[in-house]
């Protein structure tokens, strides 16, 4: 984890979330030629203290009676349903009755509660009577065994009021009709998930982030049976505690699998919602007190939003510039100014033309301003490198070498150390850099955010690439690395999980390449790319073909007799 002394914001403890539960009541609605999945939603009171006027699923806070053993004894449960999941289901059943008059309870013969049962039980019971007991007095048992967990949401850390909420699903009981309580909830409506989302986009159906994202996932299911089959394993399909930042001047929230999430976790770990996520090339982005990012103005298909140049250090220690990028005078001047002119070293992770050409002019710029000329460090390009990637550093780095900045900070002596890790694969001379004191990995092009890097033989090598991933995983484990700063895209969080996903993706792609080769043993590279990259837009196949060749070389290397 980054040192507390390097965090941009003082620690602020997020509000402890309150426990609640909500339930998505589902039905298959008849349409011409079949059925469509619909979910029951309702509008919250305009005077509600939490998300007034929003369309939501019925639910509310978990009460003591929901977890009471006596109440649990009055409910049916699955053998695999834990006490905690049973408590969630009890709360959801109670809330759906109180808010909408929907009663997930059955008689002894297995039939669902009917209108007479619903009318006989008060929506608001006296404190001495539990909901489960009131149902039992009518000969009903709560159908908790028919309530499953779909997801779990914990509210963003920057909110003043937070809830931890399992989102449950259940089939709407036959013969019942929702009737809102007209105090907390209004206008019950059955709606297709896609229609609710479209109406929200049109400004006609206000919903909050977890509701929107849940409907987006729900829209992928054809019917109620498909949903219930997906959740039968007693595990939520996802669990999320979103993070927020500013995008186009407005607050935007993101889930764990989305590109900005890791950067938000790094910059605002306790939730502040003020980190600007818009890509621009004019001003540096402060990620930590000792880390700035300046993105070159070279966006494109291969570079994403542009090449990220990083400055490690502070005014007391001077700076190390990582990947100065293309020889773009305006970009290099911004990099030089962001460092106050005090650049002590320039490191290139590799020699590709969007990474290293700016090194020499930046070096000259520093020296021309009267500072000592910083050395350009890296590994020289191999004979296999393309002409545009020729590179000779002032000094070659050694694997595991330490590059150190030392100086005086506000609290005394301060040190920033970069450990060099040789990581061939994307390029023969590729290195990554570990910021040792803050557990942060600069991955160059070896690990990207939002895409996979191209492995282009002969300078690129898939076997080396995968071996380097293993080396980086071991390094992250040894140094407790949580974050990866790539040369393209936002900072990644959960470093080891990101590496594991990337390796799994590469091996899955290799399996498709092997299957294509076996299906068409006399096929061409063009034939194989159509099969192995059928999930990639055709316009990207010429680029994909370069990585396909790298997979083919590795497959043939692994064949028996090719040791």
DSSP symbol at 44: E
**Cα(518)–Cα(525) distance, rounded to whole angstroms?**
13
Confidence check: pLDDT of 392 > 60: yes
- What does the pLDDT look like over 110-127, one tens digit per residue? 999 999 999 999 998 998
Contact 287, 294 (CB under 8 A): no
Q: What residues does each domain of the chain span?
A: 18-241, 279-506, 507-558
Angle at 41 between CA 20 and CA 138, to 5 degrees: 70
**If you ran DSSP here, which 8-state letter would residue 223 be given?**
S
Question: Which CATH number is correct for 279-506, 3.60.15.10, 3.30.70.20, 3.10.20.30, 1.20.200.10?
Answer: 3.60.15.10
- Taking the model in full, what pTM does it have? 0.92
* pLDDT tens digits, one per residue of 410-427: 878 999 999 999 999 999
Residue 469 pLDDT grade (very low, low, confident, very high; cuts 50, 70, 90): very high
From the options 3.90.79.10, 1.10.287.1770, 3.40.50.300, 3.30.470.10, give the CATH code of 18-241.
3.90.79.10
On the question of pLDDT at 254 being above 90, the answer is yes
Report the distance separating Cα 147 and Cα 58, nearest Å.
14
Q: How confident is the model at residue 273 (pLDDT cuts 50, 70, 90)?
A: confident
pLDDT bracket for residue 181 (50, 70, 90): confident
d(CA 420, CA 401): 5
Arithmetic mean of pLDDT, 346-355: 97
pLDDT of residue 340: 97
Local confidence band at 238 (pLDDT 50, 70, 90 cut-offs): very high
Q: Yes or no: say if 321 and 334 are a contact pair by the CB < 8 Å rule.
A: no
pLDDT tens-place string over residues 20-44: 999 999 999 998 888 999 999 999 8
d(CA 69, CA 57): 27
Nearest to 300 by CA among 485, 544, 541, 540: 540
What value, to the nearest 5°, has the Cα angle with vertex 55 and ends 49 and 60?
55
Radius of gyration for the chain, computed over Cα atoms and rounded to the nearest angstrom: 29
Q: What angle do CA 313, 317, 319 make, to 5 degrees?
A: 40
Q: What is the pLDDT of residues 152-176, one digit of tens each?
A: 999 999 999 899 999 999 999 999 9
Report the DSSP beta bridge partners of residue 189: 41
Q: Report residue 562's pLDDT band, with 50, 70 and 90 as the boundaries.
A: low
Arithmetic mean of pLDDT, 76-99: 96
Which residue do the tokens 């408590």 mark? Answer: 87
Q: Name the β-bridge partners of 141.
A: 106
Those residues whose C-beta lies under 8 Å from the C-beta of residue 123, and which sit 6 or more positions away, are 97, 98, 101, 181
Please give the average per-residue pLDDT across 518-545, as a whole number: 94
pLDDT at residue 561, as a whole number:
64
The answer to whether residue 187 scores a pLDDT higher than 90 is: no
pLDDT at 67 over 80: yes
The strand ranges marked E within 394-518 are 395-396, 402-409, 412-422, 431-435, 440-444, 483-486
């Amino acid at each position: 984890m980054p040192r507390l002394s390097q965090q941009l914001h003082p620690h602020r403890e997020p509000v402890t979330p309150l426990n609640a539960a909500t339930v998505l009541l589902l039905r298959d609605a008849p349409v011409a030629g079949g059925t469509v999945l619909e979910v029951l939603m309702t509008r919250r009171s305009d005077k509600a203290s939490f998300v007034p006027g929003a369309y939501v699923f019925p639910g509310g806070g978990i009460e003591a009676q929901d977890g009471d053993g006596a109440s649990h004894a009055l409910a049916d449960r699955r053998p695999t349903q834990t006490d905690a999941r049973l408590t969630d289901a009890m709360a959801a059943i109670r809330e759906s009755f109180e808010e909408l008059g929907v009663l997930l309870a059955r008689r002894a013969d297995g039939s669902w509660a009917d209108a007479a049962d619903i009318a006989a039980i008060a929506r608001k019971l006296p404190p001495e009577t539990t909901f489960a007991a009131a149902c039992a007095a009518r000969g009903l048992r709560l159908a908790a065994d028919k309530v499953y967990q779909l997801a779990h949401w914990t509210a963003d850390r920057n909110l003043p009021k937070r809830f931890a909420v399992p989102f449950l699903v259940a089939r709407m009981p036959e013969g019942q009709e929702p009737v809102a309580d007209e105090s907390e909830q209004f206008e019950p409506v059955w709606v297709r998930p896609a229609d609710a989302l479209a109406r929200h986009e049109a400004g006609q159906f206000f919903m909050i982030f977890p509701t929107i994202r849940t409907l987006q996932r729900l829209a992928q299911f054809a019917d109620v049976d498909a949903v219930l089959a997906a959740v039968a394993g007693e595990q939520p399909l996802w669990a999320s505690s979103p993070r927020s930042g500013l995008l186009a001047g407005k607050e935007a929230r993101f889930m764990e699998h989305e590109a900005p999430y890791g950067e938000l976790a790094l910059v605002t770990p306790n939730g502040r919602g003020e980190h600007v996520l818009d890509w621009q090339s004019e001003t540096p982005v402060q990620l930590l007190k000792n880390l700035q990012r300046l993105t070159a103005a070279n966006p494109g298909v291969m570079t994403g939003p542009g090449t990220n140049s990083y400055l490690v250090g502070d005014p007391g220690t001077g700076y190390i510039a990582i990947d100065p990028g293309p020889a773009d005078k305006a970009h290099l001047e911004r990099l030089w100014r962001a460092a106050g002119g005090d650049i002590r070293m320039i490191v290139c992770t590799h020699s590709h033309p969007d990474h290293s050409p700016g090194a020499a002019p930046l070096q000259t710029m520093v020296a021309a301003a009267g500072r000592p000329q910083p050395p350009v460090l890296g590994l020289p390009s191999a004979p296999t490198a393309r002409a545009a990637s020729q590179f000779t550093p002032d000094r070659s780095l050694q694997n595991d070498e330490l590059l150190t900045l030392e100086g005086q900070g506000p609290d005394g002596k301060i040190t920033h150390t970069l450990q060099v890790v040789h990581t061939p694969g994307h390029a023969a001379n590729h290195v990554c850099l570990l910021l040792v004191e803050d557990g942060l990995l600069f991955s160059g092009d070896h690990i990207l955010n939002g895409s996979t890097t191209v492995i282009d033989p002969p300078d690129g090598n898939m076997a080396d690439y995968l071996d380097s991933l293993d080396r980086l995983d071991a390094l992250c484990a040894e140094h407790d690395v949580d974050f990866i700063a790539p040369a393209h895209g936002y900072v990644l969080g959960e470093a080891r999980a990101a590496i594991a996903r990337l390796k799994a993706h590469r091996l899955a792609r290799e399996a498709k390449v092997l299957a294509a080769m076996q299906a068409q043993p006399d096929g061409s590279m063009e034939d194989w790319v159509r099969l192995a990259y059928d999930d990639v837009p055709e316009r990207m196949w010429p680029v994909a073909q370069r990585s396909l060749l790298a997979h083919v070389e590795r497959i043939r290397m692994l064949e028996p007799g090719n040791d």
